[in-house]
Amino acid sequence: MNKKILISLSVIGAVAAIAIGGTVAYFYDVETSTGNTFTAGSIDLKIDNTSYLNGQPVPGSTWGLTDLTNQLFFKFSDLKPGDYGEDTVSLRVNNNDAWACVTFKNLANDDNTCTEPEDADDLPNTPGCWTTSQAGEGELAQNLYFVFWADDGNNIWETNEPILMQGLASDVLGGKTYPIADSTFSIAGQGKPLKGSTTYYIGKAWCFGTITMTGGHPTCNGEEVTNASQSDSLTGDIIFYAEQARNNADFVCGR
């Protein structure tokens, strides 16, 4: 009996030794990747403006690159025929390549008061002045001419710089959207988005009358402006929009 017991204990001990030896003898290796992260990119459009009225700086419409809050590109009163303005707008998208558009909205072309000479010239055309000075019956938008072009930053139009749009405010501003850079037209080069963290420039000029663009600074002639636009006002909103270019090759402004 004792012999059988000893044999059994020996077998159990051998099995235990094999089990213990098997546990500690396996080869192994561990590889760990720590802190895996996805971070979305960002599109942050900054705008600045440098403004001149009749060749003189306008501090109130001039600012450095920033997000637009309460800045105004135009805040001019007491305009006279022949007055003109020039501005250079710069755009910078941080930090990714982007398409960009500009939209003009909420254009209001209003009669405000009615002077005797205004009434005389207004009467044959619209009833706004000589009845109730109604909103929307003004003539200023029909006498303010605008030109926008791709500029190199020197605030001077040169004949090799493409014109983005031009015409009377009544025709080219209200409710219109224009490409700054999309798949159909781009100031960065045909079909190219604005390169991230790069500054681009748009020149703009306006004239209370007839504008002439021959290279250099525009000239303005107000001789054909009648009294119909006396005391009238023109207001509106200017909206800049940027959208990612990556994975978005067919982007078109306003679509």
- If one compares 25 and 24, the residue with the highest pLDDT of the two is 25
Tokens of 208: 């209370």
**Residue 18: inside a domain:** no
**Residue 252: inside a domain:** no
Tokens of 20: 């213990």
Whether 138 and 232 have beta carbons less than 8 Å apart is answered as yes
Domain holding 62, by residue range, is 43-244
Spatial CA neighbour of 154 closest among 87, 219, 66: 87
46 three-class SS: strand
* Whole-prediction pTM: 0.83
**Residue 218: inside a domain:** yes
Whether 234 and 138 have beta carbons less than 8 Å apart is answered as yes
Ramachandran angles phi, psi of 143, nearest 5°: -125, 0
Whether 104 and 253 have beta carbons less than 8 Å apart is answered as no
Q: What is the pLDDT of residues 69-96, one digit of tens each?
A: 999 999 999 999 999 999 999 999 999 9
**Residue 36: inside a domain:** no
E strands present in 96-162: 98-110, 144-151
Q: How confident is the model at residue 123 (pLDDT cuts 50, 70, 90)?
A: low
**Residue 132: inside a domain:** yes
**Residue 27: inside a domain:** no
For the chain, the domain total comes to 1
**Residue 33: inside a domain:** no
